Amino acid sequence: MQLQLTAEDECFRDEVRAFLKANLPADVIRRTRTGMHPPNEDDRRWWNRVLHDKGWAAAHWPVEYGGTGWSHLHTHIFEYESWLAGAPELRWQGLRLLGPVLYTFGSAEQKARYLPAILKGEEMWAQGFSEPGAGSDLASLKTHAVLDGDHYIINGQKLWTTEGQYCEQGFFLVRTENADRPQKGISMIIIDMRTPGVTVRQIPMINGEGSTCEVFLDNVRVPCANLLGEPGSAWSQAKFLLSNERTSSADLYKARGDLERIRIIASNEHKGGQPLLLDPTFARRFGALRLEVEALEWSVLRVMHEAPSRHPIAACASVLKVRGSSLQQKLTELMVDALGQRSLRQYRRDEAYAEPAGDPLWPAYTPGVTTDLMYLRACTIYGGAMEVQKNIIAKLAFGF
Amino acid sequence: MNFDLTDEQRLLSDSAERYVRERYSFEERRHLFKDAQGFSRHHWRAFAEMGWLALDIPEALGGLGGTGHDLVLLMEQLGAGLVAEPVVDTAVLCARLLLPWGEPALREQLLEQVIMGEVVLALAHQEQQMRHEYEFEVSTKARAVANGWTLSGVKHRIFHGAGADHWVVSAEIEGTGDFALFLVARQTAGAALEDYELIDGTRAADISFDHVLLPQSALIARGDVAQQTLETALDYAVLATSAACLGSMEQVMALTADYLKTRVQYGKPLAQFQALQHRMAEMFVETDQARSMLFSAVRAFETGDPVQRGLAVSGAKVIVARAQYFVSGQGIQLHGAIGTTDEYAVGHHYKAAVVYDKRFGDSEFHLDRANADLRLADDRRLRGALYA
């Protein structure tokens, strides 16, 4: 067992830190740390290009497809440092979700056509999985694709398509046949979001913004060549896609960042004439959450390194999602508590991103906190709801 | 970074697992409490033969010089069986207290006896006003006299005190204010002992020392060395008992899962009820997070830095205590009324959770200790797995 960073790991960390320091301007850091949902689109695309030029856009892809070929630990260090430095988080859908599916199941033409634009951040990807009648029970989806020569005609409605308003391309789950098992007839297909018949509508959310969309597909003609792999094979592709996200569902970097953010707020807010952070009750609440984050971090490292365990690793991976998501909510609740009544102000995007005016009534750390609280009510729902994750753990760990 | 076990570590863990499974069943454990000492010398000698009592003693002193990780692996298995013998008190806590002893011959002789399973040692440190072992203000006094020392004071809640052959007693050296540790033999004249049972079936004692005469050589350490030695040894004891809790939690989950699969109500096994499945999943989450905290602690122990060690082990104790309360409490709940009976194991795991939380500093103490490095926002990050 070896639990310390090696000299080589530390050297790598220094290199990452130096790069981030040299390349991230203050205004990008400020907007990123504000934490609006969706994040600033221009900043995000710009940072994707900067990282691509450095060769670091796809930390977890193999080298042959333009990835870095880093170890899991180095990828972890890179993402950890990037988050804490205030670097925009690259959009997951292309780089993290579809990318590995494309280079694993895609045709040579598909790889050549789509992978470079994902790496450069030139094309953003919409994920078309959920539907009004298919949330956790994805296999009951109804959007269907009917063969018409060398095209499919697609009709249906997708829901909860994250940041669909920004996307040039989308990967969709559609029913290509009515098979005996509902999972069997589902295929994954790429749809250019600019195709006639595709309509994207932003959904107003409780955080005051629109970070997710519904997508209407009305007689959309898509070339058969856009289908990924064999027709009807999407279920295994989707499972593969989700298994690549084993450790990232912990949202560890954000949790670490939130602890720092709470520390800043509670160092500047006062209670009884002293900084809130020094109040024993608050300090203990903070301390308890900090320990939960520490435990989560070691759980991430254990899953990442496939630590020996008497339980299936997939059960431990679901733990990351269960604990990580509930911790996100607890951290933002404590952050809002630290901010106190000021947290009640609703910030619009332009206000939140504005250069801080130095107004003592509204400190620079105020905007974004409550927006995050509201947004994160979704984090125990998306990516496999909490209750579904508990079903999975009960089945994998105990054979129920 | 990697978490793989060496062949020796696998052997250690497997042999302890097998011992508990084959020779330390719940029925066997119930039986051993009939012994007046609250543990079995028979098992104790067997533990010695397995080498477990030598694990945490340095190689130079005849031990195996195991790592913190080795200790965790052993203790997890012993915890699964709720092993009542004073492995931690004797072979971790008190053995470590002997390390600075300036009497090499006596020290090696006693450690040899520990390793051979011939003696049991107990820490006699707490007093009436102390809430737990991490307090170092004692009123027991040691006075230097012509041929040694006299010791006076009342020690409280000495775990395994009556069963021990020697006590390590803390006292303040009169006239200097120095904190000091003394080795006192069980048979020493002038030590009056009152012994009682604890909730987990083990025993503890209160001991009054009334001008007890000790030889010069009884002084193990004094001043900062004595206090640091005690604090280090307590941290190792916490690491070891935390690992035992992990084994206990795994055992509760295994027992409860089996029970839910076989117990039929409303025409189907309880395991098919989602509310109960989810409870088990929550127990799994808590246990998994507790396990992670042990790695956090083991990493900190490896650095050799006492500050990191203290912060990490205290953090682990908070999370482990909460987890074990939850897991064992829900273990009872999922069993129903049978879980509350003395004849069934799961309730004994709950008692172990209570004992664990109260020994070696409670959760409130350890939360504050784990949070001791909290400071107002500055350029330095809070520590984490990748940052000391």
The complex scores an ipTM of 0.96
Question: Do residues B96 and B125 both lie within one domain?
Answer: no
Q: CATH code at B177?
A: 2.40.110.10
Question: Do residues B110 and B126 both lie within one domain?
Answer: no
What's residue B293's pLDDT?
98
Question: Do residues B138 and B207 both lie within one domain?
Answer: yes
Question: Do residues B232 and B327 both lie within one domain?
Answer: yes
List CB contacts (< 8 A) between A390 and chain B.
Answer: 277-278, 281-282
Distance CA B235, CA A323 (A): 27
Question: Do residues B187 and B234 both lie within one domain?
Answer: no
Q: CATH code at B297?
A: 1.20.140.10
Question: Do residues B381 and B271 both lie within one domain?
Answer: yes
If contacts are CB pairs under 8 Å, which of residues 242-281 in chain A contact chain B?
256, 259-260, 263-264, 267-268, 275, 277-278
What burial letters (b/e) apply to A278-301, b meaning 16+ CB within 10 Å? bbeebbebbbbbbbbbbbbbbbbb
Question: Do residues B348 and B206 both lie within one domain?
Answer: no
What's residue A251's pLDDT?
93
Question: Per-residue confidence at A311, pLDDT binned at 50, 70, 90?
Answer: very high
Q: Rounded to whole angstroms, what are the CA distances from A19 to A9, A25, A92, B260, B378?
A: 15, 12, 22, 54, 22
The tens digit of pLDDT for each residue in A226-259 reads 999 999 999 999 888 877 777 888 999 999 999 9
Distance CA A364, CA A265 (A): 10
The tens digit of pLDDT for each residue in A47-85 reads 999 999 999 999 999 999 999 999 999 999 999 999 999
What's residue B39's pLDDT?
86
Q: Is A299 on the interface with B (CB under 8 A)?
A: yes
Q: CATH code at B43?
A: 1.10.540.10
Provide the number of structural domains found in chain B: 3
Q: Is residue B41 part of a domain?
A: yes
Question: Do residues B183 and B266 both lie within one domain?
Answer: no
Distance CA A43, CA A29 (A): 9
What's residue B387's pLDDT?
78
The tens digit of pLDDT for each residue in B227-260 reads 999 999 999 999 999 999 999 999 999 999 999 9
Question: Do residues B372 and B253 both lie within one domain?
Answer: yes
pLDDT < 50: residue spans in chain B: none
Question: Do residues B312 and B380 both lie within one domain?
Answer: yes
Range of the domain at B32: 7-115
Residue A341 makes CB contacts below 8 A (sequence gap 6+) with: none
List CB contacts (< 8 A) between A301 and chain B.
Answer: 1, 3, 295, 385
**Which DSSP symbol is given to A91?**
P
Strand partners, A131: A134
The tens digit of pLDDT for each residue in A144-160 reads 999 999 999 999 999 99
What's residue A239's pLDDT?
87
Question: Do residues B239 and B382 both lie within one domain?
Answer: yes
Q: Pick from B189, B222, B255: which residue ends a domain?
A: B222
φ/ψ region of A76 (left if φ > 0, alpha if ψ in -120 to 50, else beta) reads alpha
Distance CA B2, CA A2 (A): 5
Considering chain B, what percentage of its residues have pLDDT values greater than 90?
Answer: 93
Nearest CA in chain B to A285: B367
Q: Is residue B1 part of a domain?
A: no
Q: Is residue B177 part of a domain?
A: yes
Determine the residue type at B343. E
Distance CA A150, CA A222 (A): 9
Q: Is residue B170 part of a domain?
A: yes
The tens digit of pLDDT for each residue in A262-298 reads 999 999 999 999 999 999 999 999 999 999 999 999 9
Q: Is residue B284 part of a domain?
A: yes
List CB contacts (< 8 A) between B263 and chain A.
Answer: none
Q: Pick from B115, B139, B174: which residue ends a domain?
A: B115
Considering chain A, what percentage of its residues have pLDDT values greater than 70?
Answer: 100
What burial letters (b/e) apply to A229-250, b meaning 16+ CB within 10 Å? bebbbbbebbeebeebbbbbbb
**Which DSSP symbol is given to B2?**
B
Q: Pick from B207, B222, B237: which residue ends a domain?
A: B222
Q: Is residue B2 part of a domain?
A: no
Alpha carbon of B381: minimum distance to chain A alpha carbons (Å): 7
What's residue A378's pLDDT?
95
Distance CA A61, CA A276 (A): 44
Distance CA B161, CA B195 (A): 7
Strand partners, B171: B180
pLDDT > 90? residue A136: no
Question: Do residues B249 and B164 both lie within one domain?
Answer: no
Considering chain A, what percentage of its residues have pLDDT values greater than 90?
Answer: 92
